Amino acid sequence: MELEKKLRPYHVWALGVGIVLVGEYMGWNFTVAKGGIIGALFAMIVAGLMYIIISICASELGSSTKLAGGPYDWVRLFVGPGAAAIVGLAVYMEYIALSAGDAIVIGQLLSAYVDWIDVRAVAMLILAVLTLINYRGAVTALTLNFFLTFVAAIAVVLFFLSSATGLGGFEFHYENMFQGAMPYGLVGVFAALQFGPWFYLGIEGAAMCAEECKRPTRAVPLGQQAGMITLLLMAGMTLFVCAGLIGVEELGSSVYPLFEAAQNSGVGILILFLAIGTLFTCLASSNGCINDSSRSWLALARDDFITDWFADVHPKYKSPYKAVIFTIPVSAGFAFSGFLDQVITFSIMSGLVCYVLIPFALIRFRKMYPTTNSKIRPYFGPLQPYISMIAIGIAILIMSTFFWAYQLNLFFALIFYIVAYFYFTWRYKKTKVQRNKEFSWQEKLGWPDPEVAHGQKKSGNGMNAGGNK
């Protein structure tokens, strides 16, 4: 049974921006703790460049393949099964950890005003409700995301305009941007890259609803690119506003800096807007993460990397309901840890694994299908493969910065994914004999074999998922 195909460009925008906008409300400010305002600006620009490239790659790959697995399917088709399984797992863990982090923040925000509220209990309740919404299908979940994300984005814009024009009537401290701008020198600026991805983490997930779009060749590039532009603007506005209203030391340790900046302004209407925005953006992010993580789990199940029991689609709601339900125990495990920076760190590391392999998949795709045939490649990104190589280099660079303060986290993440690689490779070989695919993936997508695309004689043996004989 197929997934429902009703999503439009604004749903794609809502999924991508909805997942990521929480990174403007919180989490990014850990860059300030590492490298001051200059470090945060450097991290925002460098990470932004990487994510622009990742978005271009996701637009081309997503609109071409039109599959729900997103990064998993791209790597499976153009790199190979072992690497694909790693990416599928990394995407799942990236979004599951992020979903739990969002729920933790909601609990912390509410407990700050109501003493008897338990943070973990609130997090569990939020995750359960959002899982139920996703159970009922992507249209329901992403329509909700559009509303939540739009309100949260408008709150940031209004706050920025009030600060930049002086209409709010509060004192804006421009000197904060220069005091303690580089508290730890160049080393601190470089270390700030650790949390630079938090400004944009997860935007590639916008393309993961391609299989459920009414017209994916139009919806995916449009929604993906509009989402990236939105986040670049939001990141700049957020850094400006928070730097002028919160001291460097307080900004580096704040749990929800935009809301704290609004409190420091003393303007009641802004405080209300940013409180609502903080709540809404956390809900939108957690909601979108459940959507994307379940699709990655569905893709793994379709190819027998995990039990195909998770590949079932609900007969009424046309959602991967078993994969959706399974997000609860995993996200609950992260939420019960209660350590926001640790959860954020694991989510970023999982994302960086994807940011190495997504551009590599695009490079492989271009080599296998160099033609600009609109059926194969409805969206054609510029300056490839050179910008993909830049993205891979930036992702490795950012990953190396975790040697500052998070060596054990980095070591654990690498061991986790190395072990997973060998396990999935073993499982793939074990179950390969049991597979009986009626059509090759080229036939399912309506593409020629790669040799034909290169203008060579078609091989009688065909090609496997990674393009190897």
- Cα 248 versus chain centre, distance: 27
Residue 44 near residue 196 (C-beta atoms within 8 A): yes
CATH number for the domain harbouring residue 184: 1.20.1740.10
What pLDDT, on the 0 to 100 scale, is given for residue 41? 93
Phi/psi for 375 (5° steps) reads: -70, -40
Which residue, 146, 127, 150, is CA-closest to 15? 146
Tally of domains in the chain: 1
Phi/psi for 60 (5° steps) reads: -70, -45
Domain presence at residue 224:
yes
Domain presence at residue 459:
no
What pLDDT, on the 0 to 100 scale, is given for residue 337? 64
3-class SS of residue 213: strand
What pLDDT, on the 0 to 100 scale, is given for residue 458? 46
Q: Give the C-alpha separation, 215 to 349, whole Å.
A: 32
| CA angle (329, 343, 236) in 5-degree steps | 125
What pLDDT, on the 0 to 100 scale, is given for residue 467? 42
Domain presence at residue 463:
no
Residue 120 near residue 336 (C-beta atoms within 8 A): yes
Tokens of 370: 């160099």
Tokens of 38: 């200059």
3-class SS of residue 4: coil
| Residues in a beta bridge with 213 | 7
Which residue, 96, 109, 73, is CA-closest to 288? 96
Domain presence at residue 460:
no
What pLDDT, on the 0 to 100 scale, is given for residue 147? 93
Q: Give the C-alpha separation, 51 to 227, whole Å.
A: 11
CA 279 vs CA 104, 176, 328: distances in Å? 11, 27, 20
Specify whether the backbone of 291 is left (phi greater than 0), alpha (psi in -120 to 50) or beta: alpha
30: domain range?
A: 9-453
Tell me the whole-structure pTM to 2 decimals: 0.87
Domain presence at residue 49:
yes
Residue 362 near residue 57 (C-beta atoms within 8 A): yes
Domain presence at residue 69:
yes
Tokens of 250: 């307080």
CA 381 vs CA 56, 203, 434: distances in Å? 6, 17, 38
- Cα 33 versus chain centre, distance: 23
Q: Give the C-alpha separation, 239 to 94, whole Å.
A: 24
Phi/psi for 7 (5° steps) reads: -75, 150
Helix axes 119-135, 327-337, angle to 10 degrees: 160
Residue 95 near residue 369 (C-beta atoms within 8 A): no
- Each residue's pLDDT expressed in tens, for the chain with a length of 469 residues: 677 788 889 999 988 898 899 889 988 898 998 889 999 999 999 999 999 999 999 999 998 888 878 888 899 889 888 888 889 888 888 888 888 888 888 888 888 778 788 888 888 899 899 999 999 888 888 899 999 999 999 999 999 999 888 887 788 888 877 877 787 888 888 889 988 998 998 888 888 888 888 888 888 999 999 999 999 999 999 999 999 898 888 888 887 899 999 999 888 999 999 999 999 999 999 999 898 899 889 888 888 888 889 989 888 888 899 999 998 888 887 777 656 667 777 778 888 889 999 999 999 999 888 876 667 888 888 888 899 999 999 999 998 888 877 888 888 888 888 888 888 888 887 776 555 544 456 666 777 777 555 555 444 433 344 444 3
Burial of 434 per CB tally in 10 Å (0-12, 13-18, 19+): exposed
Rg of the chain, C-alpha, whole Å: 22
3-class SS of residue 7: strand
What pLDDT, on the 0 to 100 scale, is given for residue 453? 55
